Amino acid sequence: MKTKNLITAILLLFAGVFYSCSNEPEKPEINFPREVDFTEFSLWGTSCRWVSIYNEDGTFSFVDTLFVINSDDGLKNHIHCLDENSPKIDFLKHTLLRIDGKVTHQLQKIIIRLIQHSEYKYDLNIISYRSDILTGGIGFDAILVPKISNDAKVVLNVEYRR
């Protein structure tokens, strides 16, 4: 009787192992490269504004710069709000990509594409169409994307066209 119970227990154990392994959710296969969807992020209509990020020597870099923001503390370094109603972002699910650059001409259109080449490699490609009207200042833009690892490398490529 003990042998029969032992055999039954072993069979049930194996059946449970096979059942639990077969019911694990499959991770969808991701083919690279792929275009990543995003949402434009704006401070319009809030009491907040973008903070200019300066170099260590106090000068502003007029080179196009990308900031990968993955936390509320990181966001606080990039915006200043007049009240406590700062934008709320779920940084467990999203990453904010902020782009700063010098604006020399009035912009007519901007095309943004985020391409993921591997789990940790991205290209943020921006084509900026400018008019002939001169202007000056610093431009800010930001997009909200699905979570990007802190270990990922995001390369900013900006092309200016007329």
**Cis peptide leading into residue 33 (ω within 30°):** yes
Pick from 157, 161, 146: nearest CA to 34: 146
Distance CA 77, CA 69 (A): 9
- Pairwise pLDDT comparison (74 vs 141), residue with the higher score: 74
> Beta-carbon neighbour count of residue 30 at 10 Å?
9
Q: What is the mean pLDDT of the chain?
A: 83
Give percent of the chain with pLDDT exceeding 70: 75
- For residue range 80-101, list pLDDT tens digits in order: 999 888 899 999 999 999 988 7
Tell me the average pLDDT across 54-77. 83
Q: Taking the alpha carbons of 21, 23, 24, 27 in that order, is the dihedral positive or negative?
A: positive
φ/ψ of residue 37, rounded to 5: -70, 150
Residue with tokens 């990308």: 66
pLDDT at 61: 64
Q: Where are the domains of the chain?
A: 32-161
Q: How confident is the model at residue 11 (pLDDT cuts 50, 70, 90)?
A: low
**Which carries the bigger pLDDT value, residue 116 or residue 102?**
116
Predicted pLDDT at 80: 93
Which ranges constitute the DSSP H helices of 39-78? Answer: 72-76
Residue 49's pLDDT is 93
Work out whether the CA dihedral 101, 104, 110, 111 comes out positive or negative. negative
Residue 97 CB-half CA count within 13 A: 29
